[in-house]
Amino acid sequence: EYVRCWPLSKPVLGHHVMAFGIGVCFIDLEVLPAPGKPISPVTVVFISNIGICWASDFFHVIYRLSSDIDVIKRMRKAYFCLAPIRLVNVALLLSAVILNGLNKNWVGMVFPLLMNIAYAYNTAQAIKFVWRFNIEQYFETHQAQWTVVTHVPSKVSSYSLSVAKERSTTPPGLRGDVFVDELAEQMRQNSQDDTRRV
């Protein structure tokens, strides 16, 4: 998870803990798949779909950093086009829970069940956020306030360190926005200072 998103919300943290737990079940405990059973097609399809979901998650980077509002809008459309795959993943995880239960693989049933609860909740929250997201309003209060800087100021590194000390007071999920806005403001001020010197 992106370091500036920490501390994570409880649902997101639960999702990551369960993902780690499933990895332990596969690699260390060897209870997934059930002993003597091959890896099910359900698991293969689910893991294959994760990469597609991660690709659509790039929308959260685009809307923060892109200076082209049309690019942001196109990326949101791409996100919605790929959203059904997220719902398919919820169904696949539920299928894995049922299959492990039928095979009496109780440990292999509990971890995917908890994972599915966290995954379904986070999926619903993510889709709802993107659906309600007002691109024009966000763009006007963020990217539209930035100015083009033709060079990288020498003070950026020290400024980044000073912001890092204050990140813990910013609500989770907004830290990337605040950091980018403040960095842009500092770069604008440095650019103005350089102009005055000239």
pLDDT of residue 158: 39
Q: Which residue has the higher pLDDT, 77 or 157?
A: 77
CA 51 – CA 9 distance, rounded (Å): 23
CA dihedral 188, 192, 194, 198 (to 10 degrees): 150
Worst-scoring range by mean pLDDT, 37-41, 109-113, 136-140, 182-186? 182-186
Amino acid at 38: P
C-alpha distances in angstroms, 89 versus 44, 59, 94, 193? 11, 19, 9, 52
pLDDT of residue 77: 94
pLDDT of residue 128: 93
What's the mean per-residue pLDDT of the chain?
Answer: 76
Which own/partner contact pairs does 122-128 have at CB distance under 8 Å and 24+ positions apart? 122/11, 122/12, 122/15, 123/86, 123/87, 123/89, 123/90, 125/11, 126/86, 127/83, 127/86
pLDDT of residue 60: 86
pTM of the predicted model as reported, rounded to 2 decimal places? 0.65
Q: Which residues are CB-neighbours of 116 under 8 A, at least 6 positions away?
A: 90, 93, 94, 97
pLDDT of residue 70: 93
Render pLDDT for 75-109 as a digit per residue (tens, 0 to 9).
999 999 999 999 999 999 898 888 888 888 887 78
Q: What is the mean pLDDT of residues 183-188?
A: 68
